[in-house]
Amino acid sequence: MLGHAQRIVPLAGGILDRARMQQILSAFRPQVIFHAAAHKHVPMMERQPGEAVKNNSLGTAQLADQALEFGVERFILISSDKAINPTSVMGATKRLAEIYVQALYAAHPDKTKFMAVRFGNVLGSSGSVIPVFHRQIAEGGPVRVTHPEMTRYFMTIPEASMLVLQSAMQGAGGEIFVLDMGKPVKIVNLARQMIELSGLKPDEDIQIEFIGIRPGEKLFEELSHTGENFAPTTHSKICRFISQPVALAQIRDTLQDLRVKLHQAEPDQIKLLLREVLPDYAPCLLTAEASLPAITELDEDRRRAQASLRP
């Protein structure tokens, strides 16, 4: 904030507060909205799917509608690689948000340019595994890893910032942008490296404990949905995916149906409602937590197929 008192105006408010958002947009008339507000904690949202739907999907739709109403030039939705063939409520609700902004742009192509940016795991961000491992190492262990084969794509905060800004500049509307994050990293290898960088020996000074995959998690993240066509961009590290949007009226009906049932249905019922509108979503039902994902031949086939999509 120092030195930017006339440029940065911090404002408090929630995206679900329609009147507050309308007042802000009316007063400041922003040209660009970077929409990052979301519930992103995967295990927590598995038990409270209604809150994830309300904030991640309905909140995005409401804010996007207001951006269109107030003539915002560009709207960048911060999404997640967990939105691809989701197994978590967080991923499914982010996927619904992507579908909505694509449909809204398709219905109004001469107005606000709506686009989405899919993130991997941002090193050092809130909820990142890095500070968790640091704390566990400082406490003398054990360092807890969910599964020996768990892999994730990682990006740094500067890379994430670059991705958002470059995408905002390049986007013509309706796209989903993804940073080329290289090869996925095994979480257990990351844990071992962090222990060694602390001057300690894995499995001797600090034990690594495998605790099992948590509800909603999958062993590896994917790069794109079936039906998303890859297109190059002017930046060598940024990929662009374009897909056929759904009809705006259809996705609005879907969200309205979810809104009506949001506080009437049990968590598993909400997940099944999401499954009806997102065929690629494989929910983890609370009544079947013992049936957690395992490595299968299908997992390996999908992993190889996704690897072939990387530019």
In angstroms, the CA 94 to CA 251 distance is 14
Residue 111, pLDDT score: 95
pTM across the whole model: 0.82
Residue 209, pLDDT score: 92
Tell me: cis bond preceding 311? Omega within 30 of 0 counts: no
Residues 40, 54, 82, 94: which is the catalytic one? 82
Residue 149, pLDDT score: 87
In angstroms, the CA 79 to CA 151 distance is 19
In angstroms, the CA 123 to CA 128 distance is 6
CATH domain 18-120+156-181+220-307 topology: Rossmann fold (3.40.50)
Burial string for 44-72 (b: 16+ CB within 10 Å, else e) reads: ebbeebbbbbbbbbbbbbbbbebbbebeb
Please say if 40 is a catalytic residue: no
Cα diameter, the chain: 62
pLDDT in tens, 236-287: 778 888 888 999 999 999 999 999 988 888 999 999 999 999 988 999 888 7
Question: What does the domain layout of the chain look like in residue ranges?
Answer: 18-120+156-181+220-307
Whether residue 213 contacts residue 88, with contact meaning beta carbons closer than 8 Å, is answered with no
- Count CB atoms within 10 A of the CB of residue 90: 25
Confidence of residue 310 (pLDDT cuts 50, 70, 90): very low
pLDDT in tens, 122-163: 776 666 788 888 899 999 989 999 888 888 878 788 888 888
